[in-house]
Structure 1
Amino acid sequence: MPRVKRQPAVVNNVQNNSFKKIHGLQSIAPLVQSVEETPEPIPTTIKGNIPTWIRGNLLRNGPGKFEFGNQQFNHWFDGMAMLHSFQIADGQVAYRSRFLRSDSFNQNNEMNRIVISEFGTLALPDPCKNVFQRFLSRFEMMKPTDNASVSFVKYKGDYFVSTETNFMHKVDPETLETNGKVDWSKFIAVNGATAHPHVDPDGTVYNMGNSYGSKGALYNIITVPPEKESPDDTLQGAKVLCSITPGDKTRPSYYHSFAMSENFVVFIEQPIKMDLFKIVTCKIRGKGISEGIYWDPNQETVFHVINKHTGKVNQVKYYAMALSTFHQINAFEEDGFLILDMCCSDSGEAINIYLLQNLRKSGEGLDEVYNSMARLLPRRFVLPLNITDKTPLDTNLITRPNCSATAVANSKDRVFCTFEDLHGDDLLDYGGMDFPHIHYERFNTKPYHYFYGCGLRHLVGDSLIKMDLQDKKLKAWYQPGFFPSEPVFVPSPSAEEEDDGVILSVVLTPTKDKETFLLVLDAKTFKELGRAEVPVNIPYGFHGTFNSTA
């Protein structure tokens, strides 16, 4: 990957100067504290109106236990997976939760201490061993965690919970019971897969996973067929569609997700780097895995485009200045261009900011942590697909009307791109946004008008945003002291328009005990229809999905 002069700081200054410093942030420490599970469904109190046509389960995943015995995890991502279900039918809502019975949870629980290392926490040697045994244990290969705390994913009609290692767990979406561990590496040569797969209309699932060998790392595009070969089938038939070589095989990029259009998969190789030597030797050095992940602003971002049907990697690479992204919004093809929309920022240091000690700060300390972060904003890159030997060089190739993004061919296999903002100045008042969702079933890989996300005037979401791409205007739901989670769009049964449906979001109130509620918004007007108040405390989670039972 080419080295470039250090220029991203200029962009950072532009972005950071667009945001006012925040002072007097409310403490969110109660949102990242351990809670008890509620395995049997409990009723909720309905305020307003929950539309009777909503029938199904809002499934949520995230960390819910942050210590065992007198040992505490260091990073938010380390907490033990807690699964949540809001069962909606006939205008009523029932809530239940269970801890994922992963090997990590079971072993930690049995020993009453942390025995499985996580992203930011290195498990200490067994204190019952002698000094020599504890010393030797540092040279043992670290086992990947199966603490699948990121999201719910679906393969071949079954629900699984996933993280970014090679382990998933099959889960009953009705009872949340853990029904077995699945190892990706038993089916294909990968060492993990993202918790954000994409699905084609025929049910074929696409995902990405790294593989590590003696010659370094590879990025792999994975496909999983929609049909089951037997009742016990999980990932049978999975295959690696293609492999991509990193710019530096010993320092591949970290990625949380990828983009997909009708005919292409787009992998964003960003300058958040994984130092494989540091990661492999973390036990010897007494450091967590997170210590081996770093941001390199001197690296460009590279967009790799892969044909979904042939597995061929486009020889043209698309470059941009250093940026980081966790979540893409949508991607589609139109008039010879591949349009890629995503939430991104000009710095990639946030992943190491989400230490529990930072999230539990208050006063000036919390303000300082928040103001040190680059903001996430929705942006559009436009990639011209038909690059040939006759393509003019050093000329903006984007001919789309009213598009401020640029794409300039420096050679027949290199195009440098700049982005178009997908927002107006009013989004800056909400601190940027992330956790994007769209009407996925009908508009994923297609031109679309609306997306939804969380406003980020805090370290977690503190508002809900609906963005209209036609005029770049937004609608917002915001109430001081309330912290909504990722919005999930559920279309109405007779939906004709893109935004005909509701938004579901779990809202937490850290200043009040046991006053969590499921919020239901009209997706068109963004007005509140109703809420279902839950008489238990729930920690702030990551991702989820709606499982329709209609």
Structure 2
Amino acid sequence: MALLHQFKISDGRVTYKSRFLSSDSYQSNQEHNRIAVSEFGTINMPDPCKNFFQRFLSRFELPSEYLTLPTDNANVSFVTYKGDYYVSTETNIMHKVDPETLKTIAKVDWSKFIAVNGATAHPHTDPDGTTYNMGNSYGRKGAIYNIIRVPPTKITEEETLEGAEVLCSIPSTDKTKPSYYHSFAMSENYVVFIEQPIKMDMLKIVTGKLRRKSISDGFSWNPKLNTIFHLIDKQTGKVNSTKYLAKPLSTFHQINAFEEDGLLILDMCAADDGQTIANYKVQNLRKSGEALDEVYNTLCRVFPRRFVLPLKVDRDTPYDQNLINRPDCTATSKRIGKDKVFCTHEDLHGEDLHQYGGLEFPQINYGKYNTHPYRYFYGCGFRHLVGDTLIKMDLHGKHMKVWEHAGLYPSEPVFVPSPNATEEDDGVVMSVVITPNKDKSTFLLVLDAKTFEELGRAVVPVNIPYGFHGTFNTTA
């Protein structure tokens, strides 16, 4: 269940509060004292109080929670629209929350405003507050990917997603098996959608309840398919006629994207395998000893990569010739067809990152450097199923700084710039660190973003579970 956390730093003191999201899923589970609503990786089990005949009949009920009542357990990320705070997952339901009290204010359904069946938990925001997101829709013509745009301001205080619009729609390459996406990239003038070979079998997902399978059972990896980068003009909504192809890869989080010298530079955390979701099954998390070592050794490793896409590809563009002429750039793009360019990546790291198991949960100085050339990003090293190090990567020379302590597991790093900062890494990096071998000794870690040296810890006398994504609210 979604559990919201808040650390407040003021006058040299740190206070902490947490509150469960008051979702319908949470209330139903509380009422039944068990998992009563199916989630992404969890199928609800029959009520043990029902007799055998009742449980048998329950298998043939319509799968209403998948068709009309998706989970509203928004447990992935804090997001903002029109200055308001929401918590979100990947269904069409978000919850508006009070960032001060963490109380649930309202349930908001995307489908009440635009024709989508869900949206990502990783929107992007322009400097003027205009927000972009993505959501699927399904109809007679098959699955469609939709680019969503939400205006920056409200007319009334009660507004939520009023004024949201579908900027453009992109048909899925496979009408019955659209690609899964956790996020997307954005540059100054383009939204970049990455259609990857992680496929969703809609028939399996819809019949999941009948088959006693979770939603994740409908996901599969098809290594025979290329990855496709779709570029959408943010002003016109027009999809670039050029399809940029790459070998099969899986990506959950992008680092940054920006335009320079007629090129779009796209940085992301990616892997050559799409089995990442399977790593986090409860069966794996409960393993120990040699069985757990086997899981570690077969983990899908994720590393930071750069793709460079030439924005101008026309009939005069030569074939089978590298179109990238940036100095010291090893990424390539070659025209292989009328509207096709095949791309290879450049590693954004040195060999030393391999000993830390790769990098995920990337963060940058978003407010000032998102959609612009940048130098630094921060993330978690993943030698285990969860992050066990914090890493700062310097793209000038691909050098890295590391924070690590045995037995400590940090969450996603959150960068906070210093007031009136003049340098990109002038600020602090904060992370919630769990200590599974000790009771009630979780702490908020604060690092100097420039030196990556520890500035302090605020120990919380409660047990906090490992979390996903956080956000920084405000500086007073």
TM-score, L = length of structure 2: 0.97
Q: Does 1:88 align with 2:14?
A: no
Partner of 1:116: 37
CA–CA distance in 1 between the matches of 2:340 and 2:159?
Answer: 42
User: Which shows bigger deviation, 453-462 or 118-127?
Assistant: 118-127
Q: Could you say what secondary structure the match of 2:64 adopts?
A: coil
Instruction: State, as a whole percentage, how many aligned pairs show the same letter.
Output: 69
Match for 2:120 among 194, 207, 212? 194
Match for 2:64 among 130, 142, 159? 142
Q: Could you say what secondary structure the match of 2:296 adopts?
A: helix
Question: Contact conserved, 1:483 with 1:509, CA < 8 A, in 2?
Answer: yes
CA–CA distance in 1 between the matches of 2:335 and 2:61?
Answer: 49
Which amino acid letter does the alignment assign opposite residue 244 of structure 1? I
User: How far is the alpha carbon of 1:129 from its aligned partner?
Assistant: 5.2
Deviations 1:277-310 (A, max 9, x none): 1111111222111111011111110000000000
Q: Could you say what secondary structure the match of 2:163 adopts?
A: coil
Aligned pair count reads 471
Q: Does 1:440 align with 2:366?
A: yes
User: How far is the alpha carbon of 1:319 from its aligned partner?
Assistant: 0.4
Partner of 1:346: 272
Partner of 2:106: 180
Q: Could you say what secondary structure the match of 1:428 adopts?
A: helix
Structure 2 unaligned regions, length at least 5:
none
Deviations 1:449-508 (A, max 9, x none): 000000111111100000000110000101111101000000000200000000000111
Q: Which has the higher relative contact order, 1 or 2, with Cα contacts under 8 A spaced 6 or more apart? A: 1
Q: Does 1:460 align with 2:386?
A: yes
Instruction: Output the aligned Cα RMSD.
Output: 1.1
Match for 1:153 among 76, 79, 104? 79
CA–CA distance in 1 between the matches of 2:148 and 2:400?
Answer: 36
Deviations 1:400-457 (A, max 9, x none): 1110000000123000000000000111111110000000000000000000000111
Q: Could you say what secondary structure the match of 2:471 adopts?
A: strand
Match for 2:434 among 466, 491, 508? 508
Q: Could you say what secondary structure the match of 1:181 adopts?
A: strand
Taking a change above 3 Å as real, the CA distance of residues 129 and 513 of structure 1, as seen in their structure-2 partners, is closer
CA–CA distance in 2 between the matches of 1:190 and 1:207?
Answer: 11
Deviations 1:5-46 (A, max 9, x none): xxxxxxxxxxxxxxxxxxxxxxxxxxxxxxxxxxxxxxxxxx
Partner of 1:226: 152
Deviations 1:33-64 (A, max 9, x none): xxxxxxxxxxxxxxxxxxxxxxxxxxxxxxxx
After TM superposition, the structure 1 = structure 2 runs for residues 363-442 of structure 1, keeping only pairs within 5 Å, are: 363-442=289-368
User: How far is the alpha carbon of 1:136 from its aligned partner?
Assistant: 5.3
CA–CA distance in 2 between the matches of 1:252 and 1:460?
Answer: 28
Match for 1:327 among 250, 253, 257? 253
User: How far is the alpha carbon of 1:132 from its aligned partner?
Assistant: 5.6
Partner of 2:23: 102
Q: Could you say what secondary structure the match of 2:429 adopts?
A: strand
Deviations 1:102-149 (A, max 9, x none): 000001110112211111222134455562675255331332100000
Question: Contact conserved, 2:63 with 2:208, CA < 8 A, in 1?
Answer: no
CA–CA distance in 1 between the matches of 2:186 and 2:144?
Answer: 19
CA–CA distance in 2 between the matches of 1:294 and 1:137?
Answer: 24
Structure 1 unaligned regions, length at least 5:
1-79
Question: Contact conserved, 2:250 with 2:271, CA < 8 A, in 1?
Answer: yes
Question: Contact conserved, 2:63 with 2:210, CA < 8 A, in 1?
Answer: no
CA–CA distance in 1 between the matches of 2:384 and 2:49?
Answer: 43
After TM superposition, the structure 1 = structure 2 runs for residues 216-295 of structure 1, keeping only pairs within 5 Å, are: 216-295=142-221
Q: Does 1:166 align with 2:88?
A: no
User: How far is the alpha carbon of 1:382 from its aligned partner?
Assistant: 0.2
Q: Does 1:309 align with 2:230?
A: no
Q: Could you say what secondary structure the match of 1:546 adopts?
A: coil
CA–CA distance in 1 between the matches of 2:199 and 2:169?
Answer: 18
User: How far is the alpha carbon of 1:199 from its aligned partner?
Assistant: 0.2
Which amino acid letter does the alignment assign opposite residue 436 of structure 1? P
Which amino acid letter does the alignment assign opposite residue 394 of structure 1? D
Which amino acid letter does the alignment assign opposite residue 86 of structure 2? F
CA–CA distance in 2 between the matches of 1:532 and 1:379?
Answer: 34
Partner of 1:525: 451
Where does structure 1 differ by over 6 angstroms across 4 or more consecutive aligned residues?
none
CA–CA distance in 1 between the matches of 2:355 and 2:278?
Answer: 25
CA–CA distance in 2 between the matches of 1:136 and 1:544?
Answer: 38
User: How far is the alpha carbon of 1:215 from its aligned partner?
Assistant: 2.4
Which amino acid letter does the alignment assign opposite residue 106 of structure 1? Q
Q: Does 1:498 align with 2:424?
A: yes
